[in-house]
Each structure stands twice: as C-alpha cells, then as structure tokens.
Amino acid sequence: MAVAVAAPHPAAVEAARAVVGDGGNAFDAALAAAGALAVVYPHQCSVGGDLVAMVRAAGAPVRAVVSVGAAGRDAYVERMPLRGPQTVTVPGVVAGWAAVQALGARLPLSQLLAPAVQLAVDGVEISAGLRTAISAAADVVRADPGLAGVMLGPTLVQPALARTLDEIGRDWRSFYANERLIAGLKALGVTLSADDFGAHSAEVVEPLRRTVGEVTWHAAPPPVQGATFLAVAGSPSLLADSRRAQAARNALLGDPRGGPISVDGLLLRTREAFDLASEPPKPTGDTVAVTAVDDEGNAVTLIQSVFESFGAGLLEPGTGVLLHNRGTSFSLDPAHPAHLKPGVRPPHTLCPTIALTSGGVVALGCQGGRAQPWILAQLAPDVFTADPADLVTRPRWILRGDDLILEPGVPLPGDPTGLTVTTTAGPHDEAGHVQLSRLHAGVLEAGSDPRADGLAAITP
C-alpha cells in the first residue's frame, strides 16, 4: 500500500513510513506520526494535551473524533492564569488515538507507538523549532523541574515518557487510571481527580458539512471551531466574512455539554452582530497537524495540542507527561457559552478538515491558533488543482482581532478599514504550518509547510 503523509517533523514521517512498511494504511501512518510528535515536538503537543481528528475509512462517511478534556469537578478560579495547575484540563490525546485506531487502522496501538517509544529512549536532536521555543520560553522551562530536566540537555531523551507510551500501547485505558500520574499532578497543584480522568472518553460524531462547487468540506462541531472554517470556506469576500466569523466564534463558541450552542450563528446564518475587534490573546506554540491519505482512499487529518508553547509549563517527572493549558480558553463570564464549569470542555482552536469530490479526497490541517479557519480557507479553492508543495508555500495573510498581518507578496485581501495592517519580512510562523495529503484521479501527493521543520512523503 502507498500512503501520502505530511507532518511538521521528519521523525514523524519516518515513524509513518515504518508502520506502512509493516502493512499499515493511512490511519496507521497518521497515528505513528502523532505518537512521534508527542516525543519530538513537546512545545506543541504531548500525551498530556487534546486531540481532534477528521477520518474517512475508504467507502465510508467522514467522521469527527473529538477528544477534548473537561474541567475537573473541583474547577473554580476567580481569575484564570495563563499557565500553571489551574489551567490543566483532562488530557484527551490518548483516548483520541484509540478512537482513531478503532475506526480504520490495521495495526495494534502498541505497534503504532513503537517508533515513538524508541525515539524517547534513544533521544533526538532538538529541532530548530523546539530550540526557538525553548529560548522564547526559557523562564517557563527553568521554573519547572520536570521541564528543565528534559528540555535543557543537549538532546531530547525521555525515559519516563517512553515507559508511559509503552504502557499506553499495551492498554491505552491505563493512562486514565495511572495513579502515578494523578499523584504527580496533585503534587504539582493540579486538582484533577481519578474520577475526572476516568470520566473522559473520545466522541466519534457526525461532522459539520458545507459544499462549495463540487467539493464537500467536513469539519468538527463545537466545542471545536470547525463551523468557523465552514463559514468562510469558498467565500468571495474572505476578509470581511473572516472578521464576522471571528467575532461570532468569540461570542458563541462553547461546549454543548454546558448549554445550547448556536451553530447557525457560528456558520454566519443569522443576523447577529458582535464586536469585530474582540479577540483573546494569541497562544504561542499552539498545535501540530498530521495528514495521511492512502491509495485505497482512507484519509486522516489529526491535530493534537498543548495550546501555549509547553502548555501549562508543567511536566510530571514520574511519567514524563507534559500538561496542556487549555483551561485558559474558558470564560469567567457566567453568560458566555464557554463559561468555566466542572465537567465542561473549553472552546478549541483545532480545525482539521477533509474535502471530498467524486474523484478524490484531501486531508488538510494546520497549526495557527484561532487563525486556522482563514489560513485553511485561503488554500481551499485550490486543494484539488494546485501542486501541494507549492500550495502550502504560498504567502498568506493572518487576521487576529483588529490586526491584519501580510506575508510579502500578498495583496490586501479586502477593505482593511478598522484594521492595523503590517507586512512581515518574510514567511512567518503565525501564517500557520499547513499539512496536506491528497488522492486525486488515482494519484497520491502531499505537501508540508516550510514554515515548520516538517516533511511530506509518499510511503513506502
């Protein structure tokens, strides 16, 4: 079997290549890459983070996998900090891996995580992106003994994480009953209990859909911002609609477990008006995306994240698990749909998408925080026609609140009235790290964004 795969680090693609060589398909390739990234890209993802994926088994409908962890039963703050123990919600990655594996993988999870275990044991060279992140967050890294013990060496060696990954491979449910982890988190000040961990499960749900011309786009429902991407995909007035969609998302996105969510409002199907400039601070670090499509038509786009660079700034040393800080996305306004409540999930920036036509399938995803919908929408018209390597390299613009950031060579995408416009000196990290895999007219292709450390390949 041949598989097109794209990921933001070469070690992830090599892990995918190994499992495809053992008989794996696109599901196996994506999961092996995701496991490797949890080892080599800890500033952006971890087994202590969350996962959202869009998957399509050949001949079957597209499904959304939403493995977003909830706030604990003792969750309460008067003011939410940016990092630290109060920002930690239950990690969803591991349950998400298991859900994706069950939907179409050929190999057991132990085999899919074996490359990641070996990377953690042997150690890897610190990539350029990770080195930059360590430098930028030096105070955060040095302040936590777990982080400092792993990140400040000449190479990234993680024996405790290797043991945890090995345990997950043998029985993924063990992660949510890991007494060492829960006790270690308590020692760090995290109030999540064994019951909070045990209550977590990944949702496998119907995606939201939008057809533009001959292409049908699929994205995850709330608490994920998939509706925001669908609201602007194919828009002839992309900047104006992105501003409206940004405002609607900031006002309306939350967890359906906490109360009704206006999906029509998020899709811009209502006449509601919101503050165009209202935007939370941009997270640094954010996410990783992996895409994989095989010659049978199986397709996976998977995103996992610790939110801020190095998440909560806490690495539990006994298990090697770095914790995310997704709790910072909660609102403390009781009237807001994203209001912090026990058992409720925070709103999520993750925005993977799958596109289908009668002749092919595209798996598409990116890093880029809350700007992911407009980053992907700029590529959307050409995902079945352009060369993938060229498409992910094209200069882009980024909307964030009332800031419009242009990479060189990008014309103004619309009326900038009310926006502060700046142009970067060159390709910029904030323009996202796009990963794209495609099967079209029987041909497999892939592209990996040069703004990251990644690689695209057709395996074997």
Give the tokens for residue 243.
């501003």
Give the tokens for residue 244.
């409206």
Give the tokens for residue 69.
């962890």
Strand order through the sheet with 397-400: 397-400, 403-406, 420-423
The residue to which tokens 């009326």 are assigned: 415
Give the tokens for residue 6.
């794209």
C-alpha distances in Å from residue 66, one per residue of 20, 101, 107, 144, 418: 25, 14, 22, 30, 35
Contact by Cβ (8 Å): 72, 196: yes
3-state helix, strand and coil shares in percent for the chain, rounded to the nearest 5: 35, 25, 40
Instruction: Indicate which residue of 164, 228, 287, 328 is catalytic.
Output: 287
As to burial, measured by CB atoms within 10 angstroms (0-12 exposed, 13-18 middle, 19+ buried), residue 273 is exposed
Report how far residue 207's alpha carbon sits from residue 164's, in angstroms, rounded to the nearest whole number: 32
Pairing of strands 403-406, 420-423: parallel
Report how far residue 371's alpha carbon sits from residue 379's, in angstroms, rounded to the nearest whole number: 13
Pairing of strands 321-322, 403-406: unpaired
Residue 191 appears among annotated catalytic residues: no
As to burial, measured by CB atoms within 10 angstroms (0-12 exposed, 13-18 middle, 19+ buried), residue 325 is buried
C-alpha distances in Å from residue 220, one per residue of 111, 194, 217, 232, 368: 28, 28, 10, 15, 17
Report how far residue 445's alpha carbon sits from residue 361's, in angstroms, rounded to the nearest whole number: 11
Which residues are marked as active site? 287
